[in-house]
């Protein structure tokens, strides 16, 4: 009966229509398929298991790591007349007894379960007698051992699915492929479930990137144009959150900082203020996130490049949940690339994982140096096709492209002839034919590359190097103070087998903003 889901959608949840992707997911879950659904935060995942739970016989077990969220959902469902209950550490004994009673009486439709409950042998026994018809897993990426949100108890979910022999529907907003593979392995024994990746477009969010050029002033300028609006400034370090918040306050904004090193009470105060006050700016590390549920955040700025394209997407996605226009600006510079690369290289992850992390960083750098519509590039990464959006900086002002093959070859040559031992600054000195001390000491004025790049300014060369790093033609080597090393991707260009387009606007802009000074 195809009318049933829509009728329930209206009667129980009070919505007239499904959001993008919801309808198909609801159908597949109701049908009893194993499902992996990847939807952005705020996309409406909970409905995708709540509604099927009502359409199926028996009880649906919902596993979620967020106790407050579970309690919220249970309250909402009960108010709508749905028999729902939760077994979490926050329960009073009376609440727990009431949930057990309803379960035994076969009355419960949704049972929310904290993952740590799975470690309890009694829970498994109880569930095997309770007429469970399916398992829904929220925040399914918590099963990924390499992710930030790893929950060891999530590793027991696969076992529960096997024991109960029921379909499982897993939900997450984390879209990267590595995590997907891990979810399939651990939750579905490696058998690919029906997979949905939907609704990643947030058309009301304006996308923009800017090369770093006096980042603090850039952030202050961005905020000054949006006075009185709620915003978040994401920073790469705890120190910076405090510094930028201070600078914003000095400039007359209401601003505070937030990071993982603060007392829990202070953090809660900031969350509370942000939720209730109008026009507060929070300068934060990525620790400010999961619990932020403010619909009218008007802008998000990144003072430093995020760690990955997924991180970027999640952080900008906190803006404009109400659907009204929201703006974002992400700053990036060569130093960010160096820092992020070394964080990956110095991490404890195994080599394959590090390689994947470099890949995710590359994707973000590719987006930063995109040649066309940014949203198209972003959605393409998530597997969605889209037309140019008309709501990003590159749609606003399409970049002019030029054939950068020769410039790139000169830059590569300068690096190779100096043993791939130097950063962009010294290589640019060589290209420009500058007689610096370092050039003298190393006899680099004897190189055939010395002075071959005088047709471009220092600023233009900086943009060329940045775009080369953005396309992963060169990587800073963390073990040698960021010395630039050529990657295999650059070989075809070096050999003259491929040409490469660069963005002229970035080149000119960098040159205009910063005259040829070091």
Interface residues toward ligand ADP, by CB under 6 A: 15, 18-19, 22, 39, 41-47
CB of 74 to ligand ADP, least distance (A): 13
Select from ligand ADP, Zn ion, none the partner in contact with residue 389, using the beta carbon and a kind-dependent cut-off of 5 to 8 Å. Zn ion
Residue 39 near which of Zn ion, ligand ADP, none (CB within 5-8 Å, type-dependent)? ligand ADP
Cα 503 from Cα 23, distance rounded (Å): 41
CA 199 to CA 22: how far, in whole Å? 9
Partner from Zn ion, ligand ADP, none contacting 42, C-beta within 5 to 8 A by type: ligand ADP
Residue 41, binding choice from Zn ion, ligand ADP, none, Cβ under 5 to 8 Å by partner class: ligand ADP
Query: Taking CB within 5 to 8 Å according to partner kind, which of Zn ion, ligand ADP, none is near residue 46?
Result: ligand ADP
- Tell me the site size for Zn ion, rule CB under 5 A: 5
Nearer to Zn ion, 207 or 283 (CB): 207
Residue nearer to ligand ADP on the CB measure, 80 or 447: 80
Q: Are 226 and 254 in contact (CB under 8 A)?
A: no
CA distance 315 to 306: 9
Q: 51 or 370, CB closer to ligand ADP?
A: 51
Residue 379, interface with Zn ion (CB under 5 A)? no
HEC string of 438-483 equals: HHHHCCHHHCCCCCCCCCCCHHHHHHHHHHHHHCCCEEEEHHHCCE
Q: Are 484 and 466 in contact (CB under 8 A)?
A: no
CA distance 450 to 443: 10
Q: Which does 373 bind (CB under 5 to 8 A by kind): ligand ADP, Zn ion, none?
A: Zn ion
Quote the DSSP letter at residue 152. Answer: G
Residue list 345-374, contact with Zn ion (CB under 5 A): 373
Strands 501-503 and 401-403: antiparallel
Binding mask 386-405 for Zn ion (x = CB under 5 A): ---x--x--x----------
For residue 246, the minimal CB distance to ligand ADP (Å) is: 33
Residue with tokens 């040649």: 371
Q: How far is the CB of 387 from Zn ion (least distance, A)?
A: 9
Backbone angles phi, psi at 109, to 5 degrees: -100, -35
471 binds Zn ion (CB under 5 A): no
Query: What single string gives the DSSP state of each residue in 108-123?
Result: -SEEEE-GGGGG-HHH
The widest CA-to-CA distance across the chain, in whole angstroms, is 88
Does position 156 interact with Zn ion (CB under 5 A)? The reply is no
Which token pair is 497? 């087998």
Token code pair at residue 97: 């007894």
Residue with smaller CB distance to Zn ion, 35 or 373: 373
Give which of ligand ADP, Zn ion, none residue 375 binds (C-beta under 5 to 8 Å, depending on kind).
Zn ion
Nearest approach, Cβ of residue 290 and ligand ADP (Å): 10
Q: Is 316 in the site for Zn ion (CB under 5 A)?
A: no
Closest to ligand ADP by CB, 320 vs 423, is 320
Helix and strand totals (H; E) in the chain: 22, 18
Which backbone phi and psi does 511 adopt, to 5 degrees? -70, -40
Applying CB under 5 A, which residues contact Zn ion?
373, 375, 389, 392, 395
């Amino acid at each position: 009966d195809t009318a049933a889901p829509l009728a329930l959608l209206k009667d129980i949840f009070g919505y007239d229509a499904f959001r993008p992707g919801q309808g198909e997911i609801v159908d597949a879950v109701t049908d009893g398929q194993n499902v992996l659904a990847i939807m952005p935060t705020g996309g409406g995942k909970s409905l995708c298991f709540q509604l099927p739970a009502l359409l199926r016989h028996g009880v649906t077990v919902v596993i979620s790591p967020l106790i407050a969220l579970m309690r919220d959902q249970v309250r909402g469902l009960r108010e709508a007349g749905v028999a729902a209950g939760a077994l979490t550490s926050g329960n009073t004994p009376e609440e727990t007894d009431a949930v057990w009673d309803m379960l035994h009486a076969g009355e419960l439709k949704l049972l929310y379960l904290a993952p740590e409950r799975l470690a309890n042998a009694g829970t498994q026994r109880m569930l095997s007698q309770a007429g469970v018809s399916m398992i829904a897993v929220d925040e399914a990426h918590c099963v990924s051992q390499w992710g930030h949100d790893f929950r060891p108890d999530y590793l027991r979910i696969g076992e529960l699915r096997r024991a109960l022999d029921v379909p499982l529907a897993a939900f997450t907003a984390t879209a990267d492929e590595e995590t997907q593979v891990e979810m399939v392995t651990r939750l579905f024994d490696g058998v690919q479930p029906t997979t949905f990746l939907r609704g990643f477009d947030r058309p009301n969010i304006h996308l923009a990137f800017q090369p770093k050029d006096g980042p603090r002033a850039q952030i202050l300028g961005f905020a000054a144009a949006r006075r009185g609006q709620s915003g978040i400034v994401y920073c790469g370090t705890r120190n910076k959150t405090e510094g930028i918040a201070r600078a914003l306050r000095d400039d007359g904004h209401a601003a505070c900082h937030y990071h993982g090193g603060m007392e829990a009470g202070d953090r809660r105060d900031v969350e509370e203020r942000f939720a209730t006050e109008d026009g507060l700016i929070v300068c934060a590390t990525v620790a400010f996130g999961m619990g932020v549920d403010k619909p009218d955040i008007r802008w998000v700025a990144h003072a430093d490049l995020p760690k990955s394209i997924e991180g970027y997407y999640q952080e900008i996605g906190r803006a404009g949940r109400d659907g009204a226009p929201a703006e974002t600006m992400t700053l990036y510079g060569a130093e960010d690339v160096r820092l992020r690369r070394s964080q990956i290289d110095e991490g404890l992850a195994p080599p394959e994982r590090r390689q994947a992390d470099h890949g995710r960083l590359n994707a973000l750098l590719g987006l930063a140096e995109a040649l066309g519509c940014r949203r198209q590039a972003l959605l393409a990464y998530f597997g969605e096709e889209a037309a140019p959006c008309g709501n990003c900086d590159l749609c606003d002002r399409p970049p002019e492209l030029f054939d950068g093959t020769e410039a790139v070859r000169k830059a590569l040559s300068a690096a190779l002839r100096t043993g791939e031992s130097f950063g962009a600054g010294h290589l640019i000195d060589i290209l420009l034919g500058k007689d610096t001390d370092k050039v003298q000491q190393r006899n680099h004025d004897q190189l055939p590359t010395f002075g071959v790049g005088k047709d471009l300014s220092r600023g233009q060369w900086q943009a060329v190097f940045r775009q080369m790093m953005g396309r992963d033609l060169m990587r800073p080597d963390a073990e040698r103070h960021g010395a630039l090393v050529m990657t295999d991707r650059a070989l075809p260009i070096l050999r003259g087998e491929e040409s490469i387009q660069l963005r002229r606007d970035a080149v000119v802009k960098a040159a205009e903003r910063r005259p040829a000074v070091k």
